[in-house]
Amino acid sequence: SQTIHQWPATLVQPVGSPLSLECTVEGTSNPNLYWYRQAAGRGLQLLFYSVGIGQISSEVPQNLSASRPQDRQFILSSKKLLLSDSGFYLCASHRAGSKYEQYFGPGTRLTVT
């Protein structure tokens, strides 16, 4: 079966520090991968999506970036965190054989202080 792993689960970082969040997917190959942010009391905001290694599309032109160094690995980064970067970061993919059936990982809760 397919599983999405995310780490760390929780992170507290000071303003101006760098960020690296990792997502890996098991049980499938060449998946579409997504990064979302969910702010408290708000909906899901699509940040990046990737349809293959090195292919990243950005939906939000902020101080965040994404990379896909391997087929099933997706990394979200920032060089300098802002207070507004706090939120719940979710990685998503889709079921094998079902390009539009999207499912999510457990998430990383980031607090920028």
Contacting range for another protein; rule: CB under 8 A; set: 19-27, 42-50, 60-68, 74-82: 42-50
Q: How far apart are CA 74 and CA 108, in angstroms?
A: 13
Output helix, strand, coil percentages for the chain, rounded to the nearest 5.
Answer: 5, 60, 35
Q: How far apart are CA 108 and CA 9, in angstroms?
A: 4
Residue of the chain from 3, 57, 62, 111 that contacts another protein (CB under 8 A)? 57
Based on the shown chain and the rule CB under 8 A, indicate whether residue 31 belongs to the binding site for another protein.
Answer: no
Based on the shown chain and the rule CB under 8 A, indicate whether residue 7 belongs to the binding site for another protein.
Answer: no
Which residues share a beta bridge with 8?
Answer: none
Contacting range for another protein; rule: CB under 8 A; set: 19-27, 64-72, 76-84, 93-101: 93-101
